[in-house]
C-alpha cells in the first residue's frame, strides 16, 4: 500500500509539472510587449536628386521613416533639414545603374537607415518606405 501511494504521488507531481510547463511554453512566451512603429514623413511630398555624374538622370523619391519609439515626431520635425540633407547626400551618390537595379532597393534603404541614425545620433529609425521612387 505504501508503494502504491508513492507511485500515485509521483505520477500526480509529474502531471502537474507537465501542465505548468506546457502553460508557460504556450502562453508565457507571448508576453513580449508589442513593437511600437510610428511613421514620419520628413519631406512632405517628394525630393528630386541628381544621380551620380556622368548620369544626366534624376531620382524622385517620397520617403516615410518608420521609428520604434513614441514621441519622436517633434525631434524629427526639428531635424527635418538634417534628414533632408542626409537623404540628398546618400541618394545623389547612386549611379543610374544602382538606382535602376531591381534588387538594389533594400541596399538603398539600409544605407539610408544607417546614415540617418548616425547623423541624428539615434538608433530608432528601423525602416524606410518609399511612396515614390522614379528614375527620370
Query: Domain check: are 86 and 121 in the same one?
Result: yes
Q: Say which DSSP state 123 is in.
A: -
Residue 33 region, left (φ>0) first, then alpha (ψ -120 to 50), else beta? beta
Query: Domain check: are 20 and 72 in the same one?
Result: no
Is the pTM here over 0.85, yes or no?
A: no
Number of alpha carbons in the 13 Å side-chain half-sphere of residue 83: 21
Query: Domain check: are 27 and 48 in the same one?
Result: no
Q: What residues have CB less than 8 Å from 104, skipping those under 6 apart?
A: 98
Helix (H) / strand (E) containing 128: strand 125-135
Query: Domain check: are 102 and 58 in the same one?
Result: yes
pLDDT at residue 31 greater than cutoff 70: no
Query: Domain check: are 44 and 24 in the same one?
Result: no
Considering Cα of 49, then 50, then 52, then 55, what sign does the dihedral take?
positive
- The CATH number covering residue 84 comes to 3.30.479.30
Q: How far apart are the first and last CA of the chain?
A: 89
Predicted confidence band of residue 1 (pLDDT cuts 50, 70, 90)? low
Provide the residue range defining the domain that includes 43.
Answer: 38-135
pLDDT digits (tens, 9 = 90+) for 33-79: 666 778 877 776 788 999 988 889 999 999 999 998 888 888 998 99
Query: Domain check: are 24 and 43 in the same one?
Result: no
Q: Is 45 helix (H, G, I), strand (E, B) or coil?
A: coil
Query: Domain check: are 18 and 46 in the same one?
Result: no
Query: Domain check: are 76 and 124 in the same one?
Result: yes
pLDDT digits (tens, 9 = 90+) for 15-30: 777 777 777 677 665 5
Does the N-terminal peptide bond of residue 54 adopt cis geometry, omega within 30 degrees of 0? yes
Give CA–CA dist 83/38, Å, rounded.
Answer: 17
Mean pLDDT, rounded, for 1-22: 74
Number of domains observed in the structure of the chain? 2
Amino acid at each position: 500500500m505504501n508503494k502504491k501511494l508513492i507511485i500515485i504521488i509521483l505520477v500526480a507531481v509529474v502531471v502537474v509539472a507537465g501542465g505548468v510547463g506546457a502553460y508557460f511554453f504556450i502562453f508565457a512566451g507571448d508576453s513580449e510587449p508589442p513593437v511600437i512603429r510610428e511613421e514620419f514623413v520628413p519631406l512632405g511630398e517628394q525630393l528630386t536628386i541628381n544621380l551620380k555624374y556622368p548620369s544626366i538622370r534624376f531620382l524622385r523619391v517620397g520617403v516615410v521613416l518608420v521609428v520604434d519609439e513614441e514621441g519622436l515626431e517633434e525631434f524629427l520635425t526639428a531635424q527635418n533639414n538634417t534628414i533632408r540633407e542626409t537623404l540628398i547626400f546618400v541618394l545623389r551618390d547612386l549611379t543610374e545603374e544602382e538606382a535602376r537595379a531591381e534588387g538594389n532597393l533594400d541596399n538603398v534603404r539600409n544605407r539610408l537607415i544607417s546614415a540617418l541614425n548616425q547623423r541624428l545620433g539615434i538608433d530608432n529609425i528601423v525602416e524606410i518606405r518609399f511612396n515614390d521612387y522614379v528614375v527620370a
